[in-house]
Structure 1
Amino acid sequence: MDRLQAMQVFTKIVEMNSFSRAADSLNLPHASTTTIIKNLEAHLRVRLMQRTTRRLNLTPEGAEYYERCTRILAEIDETEDALSNTGKGPRGKLRIDMPGSVGRLVVMPRLPEFRERYPDIELMVGFGDKPVDLVQEGVDCAIRVGELEDSSLVARRLGVLQTLTAASPAYIEQYGEPTSLDNLRQHHAVQYFSNGTGRMNEMSFVIDKETTSVKMRGTLAVNDGDAYVMCGVQGAGIIQSPRFMLLPHLRSGALVEVLPQWKPAPMPIAAVYPHNRHLAPKVRVFVEWIAMLFESCPLMSSVVDQEGRCVIADAQYGLAPYTNAHAVDATVEAFA
């Protein structure tokens, strides 16, 4: 049995959900695809798919085998492309994953530039705050926020996300503005809980280079970054979030930064990918592009004014406090 051909036939059948269409695509007799899959299942000693009158359903073993086959076949294609000296540049399907807020506000506005530069790369972009298993789910590259736990991945540091503490004017009018960390404990917070562990994230601040956590009361918890910010805008409680997510609401006055003299610890952000993907041209050019994108992003600036409140630094427009709507508009427009 030609195992490479069997992998190609199997993945094509899954992608086209049809034995006959897969056979036509691969220029094989229709009967050959059925024979190849039967021989493959006999060789592996597992059932890969269940057939019904309308569609094909993968077994758990079939789903795992499909993910592995797609990675193996992609690596073969990329190796051949790299050695063929065709001069056509990176190509193939590139699956990436990132937090929704990072994708929506930072990456997607500039993604047309990447597509124009590398037209032969087919992008699959996934969004979500829950980290995915890159190897098991066939993801080529992911953007991760926070400290990395998986040491089996290669990481390229992209920068840090400055974090602010904020509340809505309605909340401040009702409960007052916190003036100290001790006073903060008397206030209400919107809680953010981890998708993976269900654990509530406490608010934290850096004081004399030490991180101090503050446990606050709260009757509302969410596990999505955008929903978390909107809860703060609606006056449900005090929030801590990356500045680039808060900026439009700070600019409009829907949120106000509180306790600007005590900043939360910045969160590292990195591009990560499996070790077996580090030589793939499509992965390499995407990581280089995303690194330059974050380096040039004014929303990642850490400049503060005399009161300790964050401002956006941009070489063309100078320093613009986020309370200055015109300057912020110009800076955001330059980035977008």
Structure 2
Amino acid sequence: MDRIAAMNAFVRVVEAGTFTKAAETLDMPNASLTRLIQKLEEDLKVRLLQRTTRSVTVTPEGAIYYERVVRLLAEFADIESSTTHARMKPSGRLRVDAATAIGALVLVPALDDFYRTYPDIGIELQVGNERTDLIAEGFDCAIRAGRVDEQFLVARQIGSFGFTTCATPAFLAAHGTPTSPDQLSALPTIGMIPSHAGYPPSFPFLYDDRKDGLQLKHRLVVNDTNAYLAAGLASLGIIQAPTYSVRDAIAAGKLVPLLEDWPQPTIPVHVIYPPNRYLSAKARVFIDWLVELFERDELLRRR
């Protein structure tokens, strides 16, 4: 038995949660994967996994083994990757998942810079505001704003962003300009359904070093960043959007920033990827490029 292959298979089962999903990511028959794990348990003389018809859970012994094996595989992959990277120019297809606004307003406009350095890397970029199962769907990495709560994933912070409360000049002419957050409850506001785009469930402001969210009765709630910004530009209400997403509209006079004396919290941005997956040269250089991209932008750099 190839012990490293067996270790990798075990880790993939733990992260995927089922033998079926793990077998798909490993591109091997379910029965072969089952036999491989059984042989590993026989050699170790310990039960690593508890199996049911619907899912797989890790035994206490399996959890300890998992933690040690992940570190071992990561070190082994790093050795191979650094050696390969030193003698090969990165190439191939990279699958990336990102929130809609970050993908459309941050990544895509900057990709020409990336391609000038790495012309042989092709990128498949999936954008959306729903969380993707990286392991089950075969993504190399994902860019997430806000809380990262997936298990068994490496999360590296690459930046952060703040929010700006704003509205159109026409809306303010019709409804008046609020001078404190408490006045927002009497005005039409637009809400964004929370997601991995980083939008909170309410309009947060910092009160006495506390994070408080105003529980507003929004006249409209949407689940898409483009629709959210469009609603604000259509004078349907006040919005609170990532500052980087409204800076062009503010510069053009289409939106007016509000309540600037009332600080709003910043949201961290992470790139996440499976810890045991072979971090190829193309993934490594892309992640390094992301770090530099966010650092260059004062509205996106890490705080």
Structure 2 length-normalised TM: 0.69
> What amino acid does structure 1 have at the position aligned with 2:106?
V
Residues 136-215 of structure 1 correspond to what in structure 2 (within 5 A)? 136-194=136-194, 201-215=201-215
Q: Separation in 2 of the partners of 1:226 and 1:111?
A: 20
> What amino acid does structure 1 have at the position aligned with 2:210?
E
Structure 1 length-normalised TM: 0.63
> What amino acid does structure 1 have at the position aligned with 2:259?
L
Q: Separation in 2 of the partners of 1:152 and 1:85?
A: 25
For 2:293, the equivalent position in structure 1 comes to 293
Q: Separation in 2 of the partners of 1:246 and 1:140?
A: 29
For 1:245, the equivalent position in structure 2 comes to 245
For 1:109, the equivalent position in structure 2 comes to 109
**Divergent runs of 4+, >4 A:** 61-66, 77-86
Tell me how far 1:120 sits from its aligned partner: 3.1
Q: Separation in 2 of the partners of 1:111 and 1:156?
A: 20
Tell me how far 1:78 sits from its aligned partner: 11
Q: Separation in 2 of the partners of 1:301 and 1:125?
A: 22
For 2:27, the equivalent position in structure 1 comes to 69
Tell me how far 1:65 sits from its aligned partner: 4.5
Uncovered stretches (5+) of structure 2, i.e. residues with no partner: 1-18, 29-76
Q: Separation in 1 of the partners of 2:79 and 2:122?
A: 17
Cα 1:85–1:253 shift into 2, 3 Å: closer
Contact 1:164-1:263 at 8 Å conserved across structures: no
Query: CA offsets per residue over residues 51-85 of structure 1, 9 Å max, x none?
Result: xxxxxxxxxx9887544329xxxxxx999887668
Query: CA offsets per residue over residues 123-182 of structure 1, 9 Å max, x none?
Result: 211111112111111111111001211242111111210111111112111211112222
Cα 1:147–1:257 shift into 2, 3 Å: same
Tell me how far 1:255 sits from its aligned partner: 0.9
Kindly tell me the number of residue pairs found equivalent between the two proteins.
237
Q: Separation in 1 of the partners of 2:193 and 2:291?
A: 29
Identity, in percent, stands at: 32
Cα 1:184–1:91 shift into 2, 3 Å: same
For 2:266, the equivalent position in structure 1 comes to 266
Query: CA offsets per residue over residues 2-29 of structure 1, 9 Å max, x none?
Result: xxxxxxxxxxxxxxxxxxxxxxxxxxxx
Cα 1:223–1:277 shift into 2, 3 Å: same
Query: CA offsets per residue over residues 173-225 of structure 1, 9 Å max, x none?
Result: 121111222222111211111369xx981111012210111111222111011
Q: Secondary structure at the match of 1:97?
A: strand
Deviates more, 1:205-214 or 1:108-117: 108-117
Contact 1:78-1:281 at 8 Å conserved across structures: no
Q: Separation in 1 of the partners of 2:88 and 2:286?
A: 16
Tell me how far 1:108 sits from its aligned partner: 1.3
For 1:11, the equivalent position in structure 2 comes to none
